[in-house]
Amino acid sequence: MSAAAGVQMGLVEIRIQMDRVDPPAGRLSVVAGPGRGPGRSAREIWFTGWLGLLRALPEATGAPGAGPGPER
């Protein structure tokens, strides 16, 4: 049994807000838990390009090994 097996996961909502389409740019808003109302995000992660979006998703979900990306 791994150490992560004892961790309970709650509900998380990730909103993708596009500021522009070509090239894509925007931010991910992470909203977690029943105590947060609409529009109450815990944090925002900015991205540029589709690859940037793919890099931001593990950071938003807290995936193991995911760290903050390069500063913009």
Single pTM value for the model: 0.60
Q: Is 15 helix (H, G, I), strand (E, B) or coil?
A: strand
Q: What are phi and psi of 71, to 5 degrees?
A: -70, 145
Distance CA(38)–CA(55), nearest Å, equals 25
What is the band of 1 on the pLDDT scale with cuts at 50, 70, 90? Answer: very low
Ranges of each domain in the chain: 11-61
pLDDT digits (tens, 9 = 90+) for 11-53: 778 889 999 998 899 999 888 655 555 555 567 899 999 999 9
Distance CA(5)–CA(65), nearest Å, equals 16
